[in-house]
Amino acid sequence: MSRTHLVALDCMGGDHGPEIVLAGAEIARTRYPDLRFRLYGQEAPVRAALAHAPKVAAEAEIVAVEGVVLGTDKPSQAIRRARTTSMGQAIEAVRSAEAVAAVSAGNTGALMAMAKIALRTLAGIDRPALVALMPTMRADSVVLDLGANTECRAGNLVEFAVMGAAFARTVLALERPRVALLNIGEEDMKGTDELKEAARLLRAAAVDLPLEFTGFVEGNGIGKGEVDVIVTDGFSGNIALKTAEGTANLVTGLLGRAYRASWRTRLGALLSRPALRALKDQLDPNNHNGAVFLGLNGVVVKSHGAADTRGFANAICVARDLVADNILGRIRDDMANFRAHLPAEVRAGDGASSADAA
């Protein structure tokens, strides 16, 4: 079997296990007939689910693995059992170049820890970042970091900006994505020292990169779609993501309650059904599923644990697109280009150590 488009699937991760994983893989293979899969998990439930996925079954390999990483497992516990779990084996397939990517809906912390140890970071990258798409008023925006690094130096934020732009060029097909740092204000004097230093470094060298650095963006600018890539530390990014998800649930919940209030509002809901359906689709996390650990020496995609079949299919397709567009090569080239164009006087300043060590 060709390894060119072989994706390793952790069939035991997530809330629903092999049934959703393989149904999603079936949809993904319909979109991309060149996809092939290696399935890691407990053999009996995997084979049972595979019976309902004929396109996957025609080309898939099953690797029986009894161990499962639970959602309650600490990363340190999962790491010790990596070789005996479906998640660990799927990542190992990427490390050994037997698969081009791994996809799992399992424990995020465990997946991140295992992947970082097994794959290590790309040359010149200090820390990987968790990146995903977020719906806005204009189009989807790229947001990172979403929880992998709670505290970041200026150099880390610079790396995230460069990697996020490369991701946006691949997933959103943007030639020169607009990049901004998340801050409490747009003025240059606001924010932490790390944010100010990261902005200084990006202004100094980003002009020679395939991105447009626009400065700072406030939290209320995310939903407006003012920029294509929002860069922040994992602490703030995770809060922003969860707040956006909660707001989406609040809006749909309040609308549902308002439309059920009387027969007149029910009639209004009936007349508004096409618009409501479009709103629901826009806010549905399954349509934006597939977070990626950028900066690793391999492609690892995290599906939401509660994703449905469409959601898991989207996560697989994100993995396939990143590999096809050589995201690792793009990041390497962009980071090298950034450092090559960083002015000597900037390298000699306070941010030099963070930029060079990043």
**Distances, alpha carbon 19 to alpha carbons 29, 41, 44, in Å:** 16, 12, 12
294 phi, psi to nearest 5 deg: -80, 145
- Sheet containing 61-64: give its strands across: 61-64, 36-41, 6-10, 101-104, 299-302, 291-294, 129-134, 141-144, 229-231, 178-182, 212-217
Split at pLDDT 50, 70, 90, the class of 50 is very high
- Sequence-ordered alpha helix ranges (H) in the chain: 18-31, 43-50, 54-57, 75-80, 86-95, 108-119, 154-171, 193-205, 219-224, 234-259, 263-271, 273-283, 309-324, 327-340, 344-347, 352-357
C-alpha to C-alpha distance for 138 and 43, rounded to whole angstroms: 45
**Of 358, 201, 225, nearest in space to 282 by CA:** 225
In sequence order, what DSSP letters do the residues of 198-234 get, joined into one string? HHHHHHHHGGGSSSEEEEEE-HHHHHHT--SEEE--H
C-alpha to C-alpha distance for 356 and 201, rounded to whole angstroms: 11
C-alpha to C-alpha distance for 295 and 120, rounded to whole angstroms: 9
Once rounded to an integer, what is the mean pLDDT over residues 138-154? 87
Q: What is the pTM of this model?
A: 0.84
Q: In this model, does residue 229 exceed pLDDT 80?
A: yes
C-alpha to C-alpha distance for 288 and 343, rounded to whole angstroms: 38
- Average pLDDT, rounded, for the chain: 86
Q: Which residues pair with 213 in a beta bridge?
A: 179
C-alpha to C-alpha distance for 181 and 192, rounded to whole angstroms: 11
Percentage of residues of the chain with pLDDT beyond 70? 91
Q: Mean pLDDT highest for which of 47-61, 89-103, 249-263, 332-346?
A: 89-103
DSSP annotation of 139 reads S
Higher pLDDT, 52 or 135: 52
Q: How many residues does the chain have?
A: 358
Q: Which of 4-8, 272-276, 282-286 has the lowest mean pLDDT?
A: 282-286
Reduced to 3 states, what is the DSSP secondary structure of residue 17? coil
Q: In this model, does residue 352 exceed pLDDT 60?
A: no
Percentage of residues of the chain with pLDDT beyond 90? 46
In sequence order, what DSSP letters do the residues of 35-62 get, joined into one string? -EEEEEE-HHHHHHHHTT-HHHHTT-EE
**Distances, alpha carbon 111 to alpha carbons 49, 76, 114, 139, 302, in Å:** 23, 11, 5, 29, 8
Q: Is the distance from CB of 111 to CB of 19 less than 8 angstroms?
A: no
Looking at residue 23, its pLDDT comes to 94
Assigned token pair, 125: 């990258």
Reduced to 3 states, what is the DSSP secondary structure of residue 65? coil
Q: Is the distance from CB of 13 to CB of 87 less than 8 angstroms?
A: yes
